[in-house]
Amino acid sequence: MRLDKFLADAGLGTRTEVKALIKKRRITINGETASGPEKKIEPGLDKVAFDGEAIGYQEHFYYMLNKPAGVVSVTEDKSCRTVLDILEAPFKKKLFPVGRLDKDTEGLLLITDDGVLAHEILSPRKHVGKVYYARIQGRVEKEDIEAFKAGLDLGEDVVALPAELTVLKEGEVSEIELLIYEGKYHQVKRMFEAVGKKVLYLKRLSMGSLKLDETLLPGESRPLTEKELKELKDREK
């Protein structure tokens, strides 16, 4: 593999950017300064380093983030902190969030540079289930459960797919879990508005086979485990 492709795939930058790093003599191969971007290396055998720090090769990167409220699910925003700003990752050049969570919504967000997997997860025809926990202003009753199960009219000729609503705690402020199979704009909030209720707090717990690691505090992240990644990819085949 060409050295510049290896470095770009490793997330160090674009082909142009990594060529500049090589020219500045910041890249070494087996302890020797890299001679040029066209230099051929063997991933897994040759030891490549950037400013003395070893670079392990992998084609794609996968991170689980426990998104806190107050950050936006985009790659760049000059007016607000983004999920990439808080992500704990050495190289972020090609990373992007798979889908979006509203600014005030917390919970599971997958961040990767694998466009194929992202498409499989987000494709409406795949019907990948997403589970949310929410606190709702108002008493959630049996009629609401049936309405969600039937599919709600969200207005503007938009009808949500049938969803599974479970009441965890009854009261003037109800606690619920909701399983949906799509990701329309502000969907959970609009679904409850359709039955005359308001979402006070919203957190995503899972997406397909991937479940939020509850040991991650809001704002914390970690790479996916091999088991998590395998289950996610197997589910989306």
pLDDT tens, residue order, the chain (237 aa): 899 999 988 878 888 999 999 999 999 999 999 999 999 999 878 999 999 999 877 778 999 999 999 999 999 999 999 999 999 987 787 899 999 999 999 999 999 999 999 999 988 788 899 999 999 999 999 999 999 999 999 988 889 999 999 999 999 999 999 999 988 889 999 999 999 999 999 999 999 999 999 999 999 999 999 999 999 988 655
Domain layout of the chain by residue ranges: 3-54, 62-124+210-235, 129-207
The one catalytic residue among 9, 51, 85, 102:
102
Question: What local confidence, expressed as pLDDT, does residue 237 receive?
Answer: 58
Q: At what angle do helices 226-235 and 115-122 cross, to 10 degrees?
A: 60
Which residue do the tokens 């938009």 mark?
158
Fold of 62-124+210-235: Alpha-Beta Plaits (3.30.70)
What homologous superfamily does CATH list for 129-207?
Alpha-L RNA-binding motif (3.30.70.1560)
Provide the whole-model pTM: 0.80
The answer to whether 102 is a known catalytic residue is: yes
How deeply is 154 buried, as exposed, middle or buried, from its count of CB atoms within 10 A (0-12, 13-18, 19+)?
middle
- Residue 69 has a CB neighbour count (10 Å cut-off) of 16
- Residue 175 has a CB neighbour count (10 Å cut-off) of 17
Contact 148, 163 (CB under 8 A): yes
- Residue 207 has a CB neighbour count (10 Å cut-off) of 23
CA distances from 10 to 50, 184, 218 (A): 11, 33, 27
How deeply is 98 buried, as exposed, middle or buried, from its count of CB atoms within 10 A (0-12, 13-18, 19+)?
buried
Pick the CATH number of 3-54 from 2.40.50.140, 1.10.3210.50, 3.10.290.10, 3.30.200.20: 3.10.290.10
CA distances from 24 to 50, 57, 97 (A): 11, 21, 32
User: How many angstroms separate the CA atoms of 236 and 61, rounded?
Assistant: 17
User: How many angstroms separate the CA atoms of 105 and 114, rounded?
Assistant: 24
